[in-house]
Structures are given as C-alpha cells and as structure tokens.
Amino acid sequence: MSDDDSDGYEVEDPGLAPDDPMRAFLPTSFGKKSKKANIAAQIDRSRRPTGNAPGHAVDASRSPKAKSKSGSDSDSDSDDSDDSDDEDEFPTSHEMVVKTHDRAVTSVSLDPAGGRMVSGSIDCTVKLHDFSSMTPTTIRAFRSVDPYEKKASAAGADAHPINHVEFSPSGNVILCVAAHPQAKILSRDGDVIADFVKGDMYLRDMHNTKGHISEITTGTWHPTERNLCVTAGTDSTLRIWDINNKRSQKEVIVFKSKAAGAAGRTRMTAVAWGSPMQGGNNVLVSAAYDGTLVMWSGNGPFSRPAAEIRDAHKPNTWTGGIDISSDGRMVITRGGDDLIKLWDTRKFREPLVTVEHLSTSNQYNMTNIRYSPNSTSIITGSVTGHLHILNPGNLQPEFVTPITPGSPLITVDWHPKINQIITGSANGESRVLYNPTMSTRGAVDVMSRAPKKRHIDDNPEFTTDQSLGLSGESIITPGAMGGSRKAGVTGTGRSKDPRRPQVQLQTPFMRSQPDEKHISENIPLSKMLHEDPREALLKYAEVAKKDPMFTNAWKDTQPVTQYADASDGEDDGPDKKRVKR
C-alpha cells in the first residue's frame, strides 16, 4: 500500500436507492448526540388566540388600552396593537393545560409561594400538582386522594363531591370542604391531619352543637390568623374553627332568616373573610339562600351582624360567588339570578353597580368571582366557557377570552406572587394562564424545561396503587402486607415461635372501641377516670369548712351540737335505759 492510498479511507455506501424508506433508519453520524430543547418554540406553542372573544361586548371607554390609542379602530394595524396591549395588560397570552380530573373541576388553589396547586372535583378526588417536578410532556398530578372515601364506605353511601379546597395563608395545610357535615384539614402532601367533629342533629338550638349537622357548602381561611378558618353550612350557621382543636368549633354564628316560611333557617351559600392591607378591622361577609347578604365584624363579637341586606339577590337562588377587595371596602357578589352586584361596606344598604351576567348556579353552585391581587380588576367565568375580566368601577368587561368554549368555566383564581390565572372548567380541565414577560415561575418554569421522554412507567397512576404505593405488576408474597396475616403467625393469633408474644386478635368490637390514646387526646377531663373519687372530694374538705357555699348566711348563728364526752363503756356515764323484765 502506498502512502497516497493510506491518506484517506473509503466508506462503503449501502446499495440503496435515494428514495428507499430504509434510509430513514440508518445513522447519519456516530457517537452520543446531545438534544437541546428549543425553549422559545415550546413557549410559543402554548400561545393562546389573542384578542377579545367575538360576540362579547367590551367597554372600550373604560379599557386601559383605549386610552393609549388614537381611535382608528377600522384598520388592521390598530387591531394588532389592541391584541398586543391585551397581552401586556393581563397574563392571558399563554396557557398550560392540566387534564387530571375525570369530571368538572369545582375549586383550584395555589400555595402562597406559587409552587404547588391543589384542585377539587365532582369526581370526589383532590389532585396535588407540583410545578417543580412537571415538564411540558409530564403535566400530571403527583398524588390523587379521596379524603372522604372511608366515611362513604362505612355509611354505605356514594362518595362526596369536593366543594372547596384552599391553601392556608402559611401554605402548610389545605382546607377541604365536601358535600358532608365534616370539613377536613389536609397536609401539603394530601394526608388528613384533622377531621372536624359532626354536630348532634337532634338538637334544635344550633348554639349547643359542636359542629355542622348537615352539608357544608364552602369555607375560607382567616386573613391573618394561620390556625383559624370558617365554614358555611346548610344548617344556617357559620362556624369558626381552630385547626388545633377538632372536637368543637371556636365560634358559632347562627343566622336567623326572616323570609316567610323559612322557620328561621336557610342555607349559607358563600363566605368571604377580608382584611385591609393598610390595617383596620376585618370583615366577614356571607350570603344566604334566601337572598340575604350579611356582614359581621371579622374580629367579633358575632352575637349580631353589623349589617344585613334582605333581597340582595333573588330569594331561593344560589349566590355562590363573593369576594372582598384588598382595601376591605368593596364587596363583589355573583348570584344565581344572573346578576353581579358591587357593594360598599361603609354604606351597606344598596348596590353601587348592578350588571347582568349569565349564571351557572343551576348546574354548578361553586361558581365564584375574584378580585385581582391589587383589586384593579375582577375575574369570573361564564356558561360559554369564557374568562371575563371586569372593570372594578362599573363592572363592564375589559377583556373576554375563550378558555373552554362550550364547557362552563366554574372556578377562577389570580395568584398575586407569580401573576398567573388558574381556571377550572366543567370538562375536567384546569388551565394556568400566564405571560412570559409578566409572570414568574409556575407555568413559566414548566414550559421552559426540556421535555421528558414519555414512558408508561413514569406515570404513577398507571403503575402504582395510590393508597399503598406498590407497583401494579409487583408480586406480593402472602403474609408480607401489613394488613394481611403476619408471617409466622397462625390463624388463632399464636406465633409459631414459642418465644414470641401472642398477637391479640382484633375483633369487630375492639375495632369499634376507641383506644386509651384516642380517649386521652380527644375527650376532655378523661384523665379523671383514673382518679380516686374520695381523694378528689377530700381536697376541698378544708375549703368547704372555712368558707361554706350554701350555709354561709347563718354561719355565725348556727347552734353547735352538744354531745356527751363519756363513751358508752364508762361507768360514770349517763344511766342506761333499764331493760324491761
């Protein structure tokens, strides 16, 4: 071989035609190939249709974008500028779709940091989503729980739909309200921390019950106290709870309905608890099924309301949406009578503004309405699946955009820190609206990550049991499960090992009886069961002698009983009665 021949090498080309399909499977290069995600293309694919929805009237005179343009709306250049102004005005230019529920999403909430989302649905489940672990191809919940599954199975009834879920102001726990008399407190990971007690349904006076006696409709957290929350029930009461004491409510507010034929009771449909940002008194506002709007002082006392408006909305219609502005002065309500009304807490008599807005309360009672973080806008959904952003002064729509056309938009929320809007619709979809330039973290981080290659083993819903954490294809050895018969133990509970202590059988009677730890933690004064009653009474013997409670009036004039000093056995004692012979 000559030197000229050794300078280059010829690679044999397979004898394939240029249009042969086999060429698609042949490698074009060797070595490890690095794939870089096109972040700009990923975010651009999540862009939504811009501009206002057709067929919806928009108040151009009050819209901020109308002030910046000259007034030539006919040409196409001004239309393009309008769309760009809307994108700069509200974080609605892009969206991230979260399809995790099987039925309508009734409530959504984000923690104060904006890193975790919780959603509740009519399918009776609560889904937990973590933005830090999601990618554009793995948008799913990391855990799905049914908080009321055991109660429904024990009662032999169907599961309970979730009415409301909300993160606490500290973000450590979640308030969960379902169609059940007992509300629950969940941890950030979905574990049940507290289960509030159910009241005695046979008591007539609601002041004497320790909890709700019928279904709870909604609830919310105290604006400043991290351990206090309030729930509204169909038993005509609002109950304030301390999450550290689940055996009884801290305060009970009984609403006396004045409607004819209501017998003093009605259903409480919505509640809001607001605190002015610059300081001042808290405000607690609630709506009733008889159309009444009631306001209390948020710090108490709650013996009587501070103001009450009868027929604020049409009686026997469900007012499901209510919210308080950040300054604590304005209250917005959305009723089942197809009306949205604006109220002033300083003149709580007549509505300032009333506009028509088609209600979804006949289908979904949980339809809400919310103020923006700085109270410069009001957001709500519609029956047609559009998001309406209203002017807080005249309640005219500033921006209307379709979210789930043809499917009602039930719940909305606007997070103040990450500046993103979360929606829940009747088709089971939750959507996070954002703007890459205005919003931070949340959906922006998710859509900026490299997509993960999909594999069935990556989705825990398909491969693991959510309650046990076991793979669906795993082989379980008999006796290895904690709930089954223990390994090395016979059916009678006796161990095969004679040195092993006997395992006590769990009879049905023992399963229904509370243990000693449960009694000591949940029943007041239960420690007195182990105290000697005679010793307990003798502790107060000296106090009763010095300061008698019932004979104190004649303590100085009470005669002293005289007894003989001698005993019966002494000779010099009194003569005994002679025995008759």
The phi and psi torsions of 512 (rounded to 5 degrees) equal -90, -10
Tokens standing for residue 5? 């021949």
User: Residue 13 above 80 pLDDT?
Assistant: no
DSSP state of 489: B
How far apart are the two ends of the chain, measured CA to CA in Å? Answer: 159
User: Does the pTM exceed 0.85?
Assistant: no
Residue 493 pLDDT greater than 80, yes or no: no
CA dihedral 291, 295, 301, 303 (to 10 degrees): -20
- 188 phi and psi angles, rounded to 5 deg: -65, -20
Confidence of residue 576 (pLDDT cuts 50, 70, 90): low
Instruction: Read off the pLDDT of each residue in 331-348 and give the average, rounded to a whole number.
Output: 92
Beta carbons of 304 and 319 less than 8 angstroms apart: no
Q: What is the pLDDT of residues 183-239, one digit of tens each?
A: 999 999 899 998 999 999 888 888 889 999 999 999 999 988 889 999 999 999 999
User: In this predicted structure, what is the pLDDT of residue 53?
Assistant: 61
Instruction: Collapse the DSSP code of 565 into the 3-class scheme (helix H, G, I; strand E, B; otherwise coil) and give the result.
Output: coil
DSSP assignment letter at 42: H
Instruction: State the Cα–Cα distance between residues 272 and 283, nearest whole angstrom.
Output: 8
Q: Where in the chain is the domain with CATH 2.130.10.10?
A: 76-454
What is the 8-class DSSP label of residue 334? E
Q: Calculate mean pLDDT across residues 488-497.
A: 54
Query: What pLDDT does residue 51 have?
Result: 59
Residue type, 508: P
Query: 305 or 468: which carries more pLDDT confidence?
Result: 305
State the Cα–Cα distance between residues 13 and 25, nearest whole angstrom. Answer: 14
Which residue would you say has higher pLDDT here, 59 or 248? 248
pLDDT band at 71 (very low <50, low <70, confident <90, very high): very low
pLDDT digits (tens, 9 = 90+) for 82-133: 544 555 678 999 999 999 899 999 999 999 999 999 999 999 999 999 999 8
Of the CA atoms within 13 Å of residue 534, those in its CB half-sphere come to 0
**Residue 38 confidence (pLDDT):** 77
What share of the chain in percent tops pLDDT 90? 40
Q: Is the pLDDT of residue 560 over 90?
A: no
Rounded to whole angstroms, the Cα distance separating 482 from 468 reads: 10
Q: For residues 32 and 35, what is the distance between their CA atoms, to the nearest angstrom? A: 10
**Which DSSP letter does residue 555 get?**
T
- For the chain, how are helix, strand and coil distributed in percent, rounded to 5? 15, 25, 60
Average pLDDT over residues 417-427: 93
Please report which confidence band the pLDDT of residue 75 belongs to, taking 50, 70 and 90 as the band edges. very low
- Average pLDDT of the chain is 80
What architecture (CATH level 2) is domain 76-454?
A: 7 Propeller (2.130)
